[in-house]
Every structure is written in structure tokens, then in C-alpha cells.
Amino acid sequence: MVAPGLAEIFYYLGFIVVATLVPIIALFLIVTPRDAKPSPMKLETYEAGQMPSGRGRTRFIIQYYPYLLIFVIYDVVAMFLFAWALTLRTLQPPGSGTWPILIFMGVLLVPLAYSIHLASQRDLW
């Protein structure tokens, strides 16, 4: 049995209403009150009241980007390690969690080494 309040019709009706109405209302809110008179000034990028000068884009130093990507993927792996560390003492029989985590780390190390090798190859980027 799920929590008792869940069974009430109100909540799923609210769900449907919210999920359908919010996009529709928001679309209308954009379209209706707006005054469609584009002028060169309006189409400029907003820069705190100043006239924008130059391009907004600067050159991005790409050589660290592959390491960032590797980090994005590998930092979530720490969660699995936390889960493993929390349950390590309670696992029965003792020590049965060791081999799975070693295999897990081994599986992760192969692509890690490969991706670090690729990240160091400047001409690929």
C-alpha cells in the first residue's frame, strides 16, 4: 500500500492539469502581451544597459575539455564506491563484496586509461 493520500483523485488531476496547462499558458504568455516591433536596438545582446561592443564569444581553450568530460563521467562512479563502502561490513559472508568491486574498478580502468591517452593527443581535438 502506498501512502494513503496518494490514492486520492485530487493529486493525479493536479498532475495532469499542471503538466498540460503550464506549457500552454507559458506559450500564450509569451505570444499575447508582446509587442512585435523588432528594432535593431532590441535585437542586440543585452549587456546591462550598455551598447554591446565586440563579440560575446571568446576563444575557448580546448585542451582541458577532454579531462572535464572524463571527470563528468567518472565522478559519479564515487557514488557506487560509497554504496559499497557503507555495506561492506554488513555483507554476508564477510568479504564477499571485494571481488565484485575489484572487477568493477578493473572494468572502469580500461576505458579510463584509454580516454586519458586520447585526451593527451592534441591533434584529435
Partner 1 sequence: MAPLQLVPLISLAVFGLITPPAGLLRGGRMRLRPAPYLGILGLLIALGSISWFILVNYQPTALGALRFDLFTYFFGGILIGTSTLVALASLGFTKGDPNEAPYYGLLLLSTLGMVILAASQDLVLLYVGWELMSVPTYALTAIKKRDVLSNEAAMKFFVLSAMSSALLVYAISLIYGMTGSTSLVDIRSILVNIAVSQPGVKPFGVIALVLFIVGFGVKMAVVPFHMWIPDAFEGAPSTISALLASGAKLAAFAAAFRVFIFGMGTFQVDWYSTFAILAIVTMTLGNVAALMQKSFTRLLAYSSIAQAGYLLIALAVTTPTNTLGLAGAIFHSLNYGILKTATFVAAAAIATKLPVTDLTSFNGLGKRMPQTAFGITILFLALAGVPPLNGFFSKAILFTGALNSPFSWGPYLAIAALLNSGFSMGYYGWVIKRMYLDDPADASRLPEPRSYTRILWLAVILTFAIGIYPQPWISLSQSAATSLLSIVS
Partner 2 sequence: MEPLASFFGLSATLLAIGIYGLATKRSAIRILFSVELIYNAANLNIVAFARLRNPPLVTGQVLVIFSIALAAMEAAVGLAIILLAFRLNSDIDLRKMTRLKG
SS3 category, 121: coil
Q: Which residues contact 108 (CB under 8 A, 6 or more apart)?
A: 74, 77
Amino acid letter, 14: G
The one among 98, 113, 116, 120 contacting partner 1 by CB under 8 A:
113
- The nearest distance, CB 5 to partner 1, in angstroms, is 9
Residue 7 interacts with which of partner 1, partner 2, none, CB < 5 to 8 Å by class: partner 1
Query: What are the angstrom distances between the C-alpha of 59 and each of 34, 55, 62, 63?
Result: 35, 11, 9, 12
Residue 111 interacts with which of partner 2, partner 1, none, CB < 5 to 8 Å by class: partner 1
84 near 97, Cβ under 8 Å? yes
Binding of residue 12 to partner 1 (CB under 8 A): yes
Site residues for partner 2 per CB under 8 A: 1-3, 5-6, 11, 14-15, 18-19, 22-23, 26-27, 30, 65, 69, 72-73, 75-77, 79-80, 83
